[in-house]
Amino acid sequence: MARHLITSALPYINGIKHLGNMVGSMLPADVYSRYLRRRGHEVLYICATDEHGTPAELAAKEAGLPVADFCAAAHDQQKAVYDGFELSFDFFGRSSSPQNREITQDIARALHENGFIEERAVRQVYSVTDERFLPDRYIVGTCPHCGYDKARGDQCENCTRVLDPTDLIDARSAISGSADLEVRETKHLFLLQAKLTDEVEEWIAANGEQWPVLASSIARKWLTEGLQDRAITRDLEWGVPVPADVWPELAAEGKVFYVWFDAPIEYIGATKEWADAAPAGELRDWKSWWYEAEDVRYTEFMAKDNVPFHTVMFPATIIGSRQPWKKVDYVKAFNWLTYYGGKFSTSQRRGIFTDVALDLLPADYWRYFLMANAPESDDSSFSWELFSSVVNKDLADTLGNFVNRVLSFSRKRFGDDVPAGSVAGEAEQRLGEQIAELLAEYEGHLDALNFRKSAQSLRALWSAGNSYLEEKAPWTQVKTDPEGAALTLRTAMNLIYLYSVVSEPFIPATSRAMRQAFALDAAAPAAGLAWVGAEQAKALDFVPAGVGFTVPPVLFAKITEEDLAGYRERFGGDPDAAV
Question: Residue 199: how many CB atoms within 10 A of its CB?
Answer: 13
Question: Residue 253: how many CB atoms within 10 A of its CB?
Answer: 16
d(CA 170, CA 153): 12
d(CA 147, CA 571): 28
Do residues 125 and 153 lie in contact, with contact meaning Cβ atoms separated by under 8 Å? yes
d(CA 5, CA 32): 11
Do residues 495 and 465 lie in contact, with contact meaning Cβ atoms separated by under 8 Å? yes
- Is 156 assigned to a binding site? yes
The one-letter amino acid at 552: P
d(CA 233, CA 441): 48
Residue 41 DSSP one-character state: -
- Is 71 assigned to a binding site? no
Q: Where are the beta strands (DSSP E) in 113-229?
A: 117-127, 132-133, 139-142, 151-152, 169-173, 181-191
Distances (CA, A) of 308 to 44, 227, 286, 311, 330: 24, 11, 26, 5, 14
Handedness of CA 470, 472, 475, 480 (dihedral sign): positive
Q: Residue 69: which residues within 8 A CB-CB, separation 6 or more? A: 60
d(CA 145, CA 158): 10
Question: 329: number of CA atoms within 13 Å, CB side?
Answer: 14
- Is 47 assigned to a binding site? no
d(CA 194, CA 192): 5
The strand order across the sheet containing 337-339 reads 342-343, 337-339, 380-382
d(CA 372, CA 156): 34
Annotated binding site for ATP: 346
Binding-site residues for Zn(2+), in ranges, read 143, 146, 156, 159
Q: Which residues are annotated as a binding site?
A: 143, 146, 156, 159, 346
